[in-house]
Each structure stands twice: as structure tokens, then as C-alpha cells.
Amino acid sequence: MDILNTVFAKDHLAHAWKIVKQKGSGGGIDNVSIAQFDSGHDLNLNQLYSETVSGNYIPEPYKRIYIEKKDNEFRPLSMLTIRDKILQLCVKFHYDEKIDKSFCDSSYAYRFSKSHNKSINRIRDYLQRKNKFVLPIDIDNYFDTINRDILYEKSKKYFPQPEILRLIEMWVRIGFISKNGKYIDMGKGIPQGGILSPLLSNIYLNDYDKEMKALNYINVRYADNIILIGGEKDKVEEALKFTINFLREKLMLRLNKDDFNVINSDEAPFTFCGIEFFNKLRKIDPKKIIKIKSDITRTIVNSSLAELSSKINKQIEGLNRYYLQFDTADQLGELESLLAKELKGRFSRLLYKKQIKNKTEAKEILNKINFISPENYTQKNIFINEILSFPEELNGEKELKNSINRGVYQKRRQYQKVWYESLDIMVSGAFSQIGKSGFNLTIKKEGKITSSISADKIKSIMVNNKGVTITYDAVKLCAEKNIRVNYFDGLGKPFAFLVPAANPLLSITDKQTQAFDGRKAKYVALSIIDAKIRNQASVIKYFSKNKIFSSEEEIVLNSELKCMEDILIKIKEIDLDLPLKDVREKLMGYEGSAAAAYWHLIKIFLPSHCNFDYREHRDAKNPVNIMLNYSYGILYSRIINSITVLGLNPSISFLHSEQKNKPTLAYDLIEPFRAPVADRTVIAILNKGIKITLKDGMLSDESRKILAKKVLERINCELKYRDKITSLNDLMYDKVKELIAYLKDETKAYKPYLLKW
């Protein structure tokens, strides 16, 4: 037991605890926090010493959480308890430096004298020596697929004492506790998040590094990212073949793809660990720039004032550490311009809403931020003043003007709401009768007139219950006034409509058909899905403004929004020279992935009593899904109305495949409006505590009225779009007109509606 006394001596435990405390990270599955451990740290450390040196210590399972990862995936992270962190640090301190000396010079991750930047410099050095052929590769799911038996056997060489090896094997073998409290043993892999995991990962690949060196193959490895380099293409291909075979046969690993093309670095760029090499320059990879920009915006928009400066400083520290020394001055300047722009917007809103008192208070917060470019206090002050160079709008005259504007706006909304309610007549009572009296349309229930409205005020009638009749005179008046009559089933799905005989139905069908001969159909389909996902993200951000998130919810929020942003990038990269069928399949696949992220987030914003777990389209049982389906039905009627009134064929679609007797074009054009209209309305209703009831698996009559009224209010309410006041109802119509203009070659692009949140 001498080795245990040496490794886990009390002063070593105290030193390790000091580091854990300074880092301030959360605890593990035992729910013991830093503060709780600190309150009795002497007793806790003595107990830990006794358990360890006696050989009785058994690690706790890991706590599993998920963090964002590229390619629309979550990376599982295993959280250690504070006790296990302390012990693993002690092992690391005792063995790390000695083991590091046995590693090859080509390995750059998680090492004392190595770093990300040194790996990039090493690659440049090889390129300058006329090794122009390169091939970046990486190991598929590396940490989670390490073979434990092979790792144990290799570890004996580096940890010769059985007592230490026993602890290491337990830390590797111990399972994790899932979100629902279940113990899970993966059977392979090492925990990402374990303090010793990086060291063990280098031990596992050290023999590969040594074999590559012995065979005179040039490579640089950063964890599971490898770049093969050579003066001749054949040499790099040989190194690739050896790598594939060695990883598969000796280490039970595989690369993340099967087809590889060696790159001539004189002719084409290549990327390694986020750095793009080309024309003797080392710049931030363009895809990485997009991610960084997204991260900056999300931090500024979502962070509280108390944490804003620390979060931004952490991002800037990372930018400086990883990218400052390379040829990135223009890119870092672009990022700082974005940072200034987003901060300017955030602080102008804070001042306008009086969430901060004045620019002096704003300057105090901004002074805590370590910006990239300002080199001294004077430069920083100038930079901050530029960020705050907007009208403060807090003097008495402007306050008075704002007060007047608010009063006029409120009164206008009051009267517009009454007007909106007369635009769309909802007939939801069973066996009601729609009739005519003079120039008014009337609705009777059990022989009594329940409402009478001038036909000049009505745009549509919505019938959604059995037994409802409409008289000949009422139909004639609707035709004269161009009033559409829409019929819905009990689930809110439209199944029929009446339109005037003079309606210009199918007048430009030939243009829709011709669109399939070129790229137009594919471009329209791509634009629709792009807008849908952007609007879903905007709805999430809209509801995020006033919600306080738990740490776990914030992780999920950031991960899922990042997932949606990554999908938008992939959508832009779809090759529109592919057949329409292939483009549709790719788009629908991406749309499905984005929807999974979106509905996962929607659950956070719904009251717990809703019991919403996932999206149900057909035969929905959950009230939230029933409300959504019913709301979409109302939207369908509006879209179909615009399509048919303007003369498009509702059965010829671009995104959705054609279906017999189905208005698939309406399925296309509704997509960008689903989240801003239906989803946003349903979430708002449920959070306001408005009672919604079901009857026989469908919304009750009263609930239909409530939901329809709220959806129609949302459709008809005023909004500012492209510098003009309009409504979503008019925008649906306008977007169909814009589609027609695009099909007729009157415009160069079709741009679906994007929500400004």
C-alpha cells in the first residue's frame, strides 16, 4: 500500500482539492457541490484518505449530461463526483509527466509541452519542406469505442502498481446514471469528462504513433484528429492504408468515413483542427467562423447582465488562444465588428426598456469586457463609446413622445381587434344555419339569430361542426362579396371550400409545371425549409427572452439551437443540380432533424401539466398536439384561399411530393408560417392558463372557439415587415404573389416569410 500513501498523501489531496475548488465546476451523481464539500473539507479529505490508502475506495458512477457537438449531434459528457475528481488529479500529478516522456513527438493533444497551436505550426513546417500532399482524417466516435481490454493491457506498462491499476480500471469500467436515474454500463469506451481520460486516450494510440514513425510516415495527431503528410501522393496513400489496418486490427477502431482523397495543398485548401491552410496562409475555417458568430450572438442575446462580461471574455480568450497567432487579423476584426454590433443592439434595447439606467451604467459593464483589438485604456474607451453611439431616448421630450405613441397604439389595437373579429366568422355550433338578411350574413342556432354581420366586413366563414347548413341566398351573397366558405372536420383539417365561379383557378398552371424542368422547383423547396427552420429558431428565441433557465435547460437550449444552425448551413450546401427527388429527400431529412431539436425545446416552454413529450401528427392524444393540428388547419384554409384566388394549382407542389386529391402546394407554403402563427399561439395560450378541454378525443366546442379566435387574432394582427405595416394574413397572400412572380421570371428570387423576433 506504499504507492497509495505516496500518490494520495494528505498534502497531495489538499492540493488537488484546491484546484477543484478554484475551477468551481459542478459535482457528480452524489449531488455534493463545491460549497458543501468545502464546508467540511478537512473531515472530507481525511475520510477520502482513509478509504483510499486502505484500498477500500470505490468510485461513484458518472453523471451523464450532453453538450453541443458538430454535425447535429450531442456529445455525452460524464461528470465525476468531487471526491473522484480529487483522486484522479492525484494520479495525474504523480504519473503524467513521466508517461508524457514516452509519447511520440507527433502527438499534440493533452500534453505539457504541446498544444493546438504547435500542431498547426508543425504542419506548416512540413509544408515548407515541400511535403505538399496531405490528408486530414479522424477516428469515428473515438472515446466511446476504445476497447477496454486492450486499454487495460496497455495501461500495465504505464501504471505498474496493481493498486493504482485497480482504481483506473474501476474509473473506466464504472457506468453512468442516465437522466431518468437508470444505471447504464456501456461495455466499451472511456468517459469523456474524466480527468484521466485524455491521458488514457494518448496511451491507447501511442503504439500507432510509434509504428508510423518507424515506417517513416509523416503525421500530426491531435487526439483523434490525424493529418497524414508527404512529398508524394503515393506515400500518403500508403500511410492511410496502414492507418486503417492498424486501427482496425490492433485497436478495434475505424475512421469516420471510407472514401478519401489526398489533397495537393498547392492547389486546394484543407482544414485541420479548425484552421484552413491555403496559399501559405493559416486562417479560421469558414464553417468555424459561422459557428463562432452564432456563439457570439447567442451569448450576447441570452446572457444575463451579471454573467455577460465573463461569458464574452471566455469566448475572446479562446479566440486569442487558438487563432491570434495565425493569419487571422481580418477574421478577428470581422468577429469583433459583430461583437460590437450585437452589444450595441443589446444595450440600446436595455436602455429603451429601462433595464439599465443610463449609458454610464452600460459603460461600467462594457469596461469589464476584454475586447480583442484595443491595446490600451484610451483605445478601449473609444471602442466602448462607439458601441454606445445611439440616442439614449430618456429625456423628457422623447419620453412624452413615446407615451403619446403608446397611447395611440393601444387605442388603435383596441379597435382593430374588434375589426379583426368580424373578418372571419367561426361557425362551431352543431346544426347551426348560415343565412342572409339584407346585406348581412346571419347565424342561427335553434331558430334564434346569434350574430348578424355586414357582408362587406367578412373575408371568410369557417364551418367546423356537423349539421351546419347555408342557404341559397347566403351562398349567393358570399359569391358576390368574394367571401370564401371553408369546411373543417373535428380535428381542424380542411376538407372542402366554396369559392366564386369567377375565381381565376389554374390560370398559371403551365408556369408551375415548367418549373420542374429547371432549378426553380428545387430552389423554392430549399427556400421554404430554410425559412421554416429559421422561424422555428426565432420562436424559441422569442420565448427565451423572459424565461429563467436551469443549468440543464440552458445546455439543452444551446445544444439544440446549435443543431438547428448547423442544419441551416448544410441546407445551403445542397447541390441543386441533383434531381428534384433527391433534393426533396435531403431537405426532408434535414427538416426532420431540425424538427426533433425544435420540439425538444418547445417542451421547455410548456407548463409541466401539459405532459408534452413529442410531436404527434395523426391520431394525436396529447392536448398540445391536438391544439397544434387544429391551428394548422386554420392556416391551411388561409394558404389554400390565397393559392386558388391567385390562380395557382394547389396540387402541383415543389417541396412535398404530389398526392392524388391533396393540396400539396398548401403543404409547401404553410411551412414558414407554422411556428410564427400556430406554435406561438398555442404556447402563449397554455402559459396564460387558459382552460382547454377535450371531448371524445377532440377539442370541445368552447375550446375550438377560443383557439380559433386566438389564431385569427395572430393572423390578422399588425406587424412591420420590410418597412411597411401589414399582417400575417396579407403576407400569406403576398408570398403567393411573389412565388407567381418568380415562376413568371419577373423576379430573380423567391424569399419566404422570416419572423423578426
Three-state secondary structure call for residue 576: coil
Cα(614)–Cα(537) distance, rounded to whole angstroms? 17
The proportion of the chain whose per-residue pLDDT surpasses 70, expressed as a percent, equals 90
Which residue type, as a one-letter code, is found at position 673?
F
pLDDT value, residue 69: 54
pLDDT at res. 732:
87
**In the prediction, which pLDDT does 505 show?**
46
Q: Where are the alpha helices (DSSP H) in 463-579?
A: 472-480, 509-514, 520-544, 551-572
Give the burial class of 717: count Cβ atoms within 10 A of its Cβ; 0-12 exposed, 13-18 middle, 19 or more buried: middle
**pLDDT band at residue 245 using 50, 70 and 90 as cut-offs:** very high
Average pLDDT for the chain: 86
Q: Do the beta carbons of residue 79 and residue 26 sit within 8 Å?
A: yes
Model confidence band, residue 201 (pLDDT cutoffs 50, 70, 90): very high
Per-residue pLDDT tens for 652-688? Answer: 889 998 887 788 898 999 999 999 999 999 999 998 8
Residues 658/692, Cβ–Cβ less than 8 Å? no
Give the per-residue pLDDT at 231. 95
Q: How far is CA 189 from CA 96, 143, 148, in A?
A: 21, 5, 6
Sole residue written with cell 423578426: 756
Query: Does position 506 have pLDDT exceeding 50, yes or no?
Result: no
Q: How far apart are the first and last CA of the chain?
A: 63
What is the pLDDT, as a whole number, of residue 213? 96
- The whole-number average pLDDT for the span 292-321 is 89
Q: Check pLDDT > 80 for residue 462.
A: no
* Cα 430 to Cα 437: distance, rounded to the nearest angstrom: 21
Nearest Cα neighbor of 292 from 278, 275, 304 is 275
Per-residue model confidence (pLDDT) at position 380:
81
* Burial of 643: CB neighbours in 10 Å, binned 0-12, 13-18, 19+: buried
**Which helix (H) or strand (E) covers residue 731, if one does?**
helix 728-743
pLDDT at 123: 96
- 446 vs 423, more confident: 446
- What burial class does residue 222 get, using C-beta atoms within 10 Å of its C-beta: 0-12 exposed, 13-18 middle, 19+ buried? buried
pLDDT attached to residue 75: 61
Mean pLDDT of 215-233: 96
d(CA 515, CA 742): 10
Banded model confidence at residue 588, pLDDT cuts 50, 70, 90: very high
Candidates 542, 503, 529, 581; CA nearest to 756 is: 542
Listed ranges 21-30, 422-431, 480-489, 671-680; the one with the highest mean pLDDT: 671-680
102-118 average pLDDT score: 93
**More confident of the two residues 742 and 646:** 742
Residue type for position 200: L
Other CB atoms closer than 10 Å to residue 601's CB: what's the count?
22
pLDDT of res. 257: 83
Q: Would strands 225-230 and 218-222 be described as parallel, antiparallel, or unpaired? A: antiparallel
Q: Are 233 and 262 in contact (CB under 8 A)?
A: yes
Three-state DSSP state, 96: helix
What Cα–Cα distance (Å) separates residue 613 from each residue in 5, 162, 573, 616? 51, 48, 32, 9
Residue 227, strand partner residues: 136, 220
Instruction: Average the pLDDT over 378-393 and give the result.
Output: 78
Buried/exposed code over 419-454 (b: 16+ C-beta within 10 A; e: otherwise): ebbebbbbbbbeebbbbbeeebbbbbeeeeeeeebe
Q: Residue 638: its pLDDT value, please?
A: 80
Q: Please write the tens of the pLDDT for every residue from 178-199.
A: 766 778 777 888 988 889 999 9
Question: How is residue 368 written as a grid cell?
Answer: 469589464
Residue of 730, 721, 726, 725 whose CA lies nearest to 641 = 730
Strand pairing class (460-463; 424-427): parallel
Q: What is the pLDDT of residue 420?
A: 43
Phi first, then psi, for residue 464 (nearest 5°) are -140, 40
**Type and span of the H or E element at 452:** strand 448-454
Which amino acid makes up residue 446?
Answer: E
Instruction: Identify the band that residue 398 occupies on the pLDDT scale cut at 50, 70 and 90.
Output: very low
**pLDDT band per the 50, 70, 90 thresholds, residue 215:** very high
Which comes out higher in pLDDT, residue 284 or 395?
284
Please answer whether residues 16 and 70 qualify as being in contact, where contact means their C-beta atoms are separated by less than 8 angstroms: no
- Segment 722-736, tens digit of pLDDT: 777 788 888 888 898
Most confident region among 6-15, 454-463, 510-519, 696-705 by mean pLDDT: 6-15
Of residues 112 and 605, more confidently modeled: 605
- How far is 209 from 213, CA to CA, in rounded Å? 6
